Amino acid sequence: MVGPRSAGVPLPRPPLAPGDDEVRHWYENVLGWPTVPGAPLRLAAGVRFDVLDLPAEAGWAAFGRLERQGRCGRLGRGFPVALCGGRMRLLVAAGSAEELPGLLEWLEWGPPLDLDLTAIGAGGSMEAPRPAGPGGEAREGRPRGGGAGVPGGSQGAALWLRPPEPERGAGAPLPTLSAMGTRSAKGGRDSPPDLVRLVNTVATQIHRVRLRRARAGAAVEADGQPLAFS
């Protein structure tokens, strides 16, 4: 029988979050993803994957459209996706960063549109989202709270929305520049869209977000102008 707690005995501490060494081990030895030496922990791009970086608001809209088309399943399935502040990072096949400028031009999304879409490839890196549990068990799903007007947005450290899993880590199917796209053993609804479809959908939503913000800004400016009478 356990007696009452003594006033001098501290309360039990909650489990500690995995340390940097443990998280680095998970990425390098479980997923097979190289990391960059030093702190904070970063993942090396251009080896196992490249990264598409875009506004999170446009990213949510793009995934909503792809899900309605049955092209990428629900957000918790498919290729890894991370959120950091107001930005969303989509992991795509290595080499995609080099293809992005030509692909945008081919899709007629190139200059002078100047979309808020960048690619991180060989020689670059991204902040490593910290797994949610000890030993690297990442949790999928939208985070609580809001940020920058983005549903489920976060102003803190990077986190996984679609976490990588060991069985689909280093060899996971990622959006790639392929006429047939990629397919998983479970069929098309569980496979990522091809890179052309993904980039076109993302670019469309980025452009729509920019137009919506421009119209809102113009409306605010017009509302502040004094009325003119002739």
pLDDT digits (tens, 9 = 90+) for 153-173: 445 689 999 888 776 554 568
Mean pLDDT of 60-66: 92
Contacts of 229 (CB under 8 A, 6+ apart): none
* 185-195 as b/e: b if 16+ CB within 10 A: eeeeeebbbbb
Dihedral angle over CA of 73, 79, 85, 86, nearest 10 = -60
Dihedrals φ, ψ of 154, to 5°?
Answer: -140, 140
pLDDT at 106 over 90: yes
**What predicted TM-score, i.e. pTM, was given to this entire model?**
0.76
pLDDT at 90 over 60: yes
Contacts of 123 (CB under 8 A, 6+ apart): 45, 46
Residue whose entry in the numeric block shows the structure tokens 């190289």: 34
**Peptide linkage before 112 cis (omega within 30 of 0):** yes
pLDDT digits (tens, 9 = 90+) for 170-219: 456 899 987 444 444 444 445 678 999 999 999 999 999 999 988 877 77
Quickly state the pLDDT bin for 23 (edges 50, 70, 90): very high
- pLDDT at position 139 is 46
Quickly state the pLDDT bin for 45 (edges 50, 70, 90): very high
Average pLDDT taken over every residue of the chain: 77
The answer to whether the beta carbons of residues 93 and 47 sit under 8 Å apart is no
Helix 195-223 crosses helix 96-106 at what angle (to 10 degrees)? Answer: 60
Contacts of 106 (CB under 8 A, 6+ apart): none
| Least confident residue range of 12-16, 28-32, 57-61, 91-95 | 12-16
Determine the Cα–Cα distance for residues 173 and 91; give it in Å rounded to an integer: 10
pLDDT at 132 over 70: no
Q: Which residues pair with 162 in a beta bridge?
A: 81
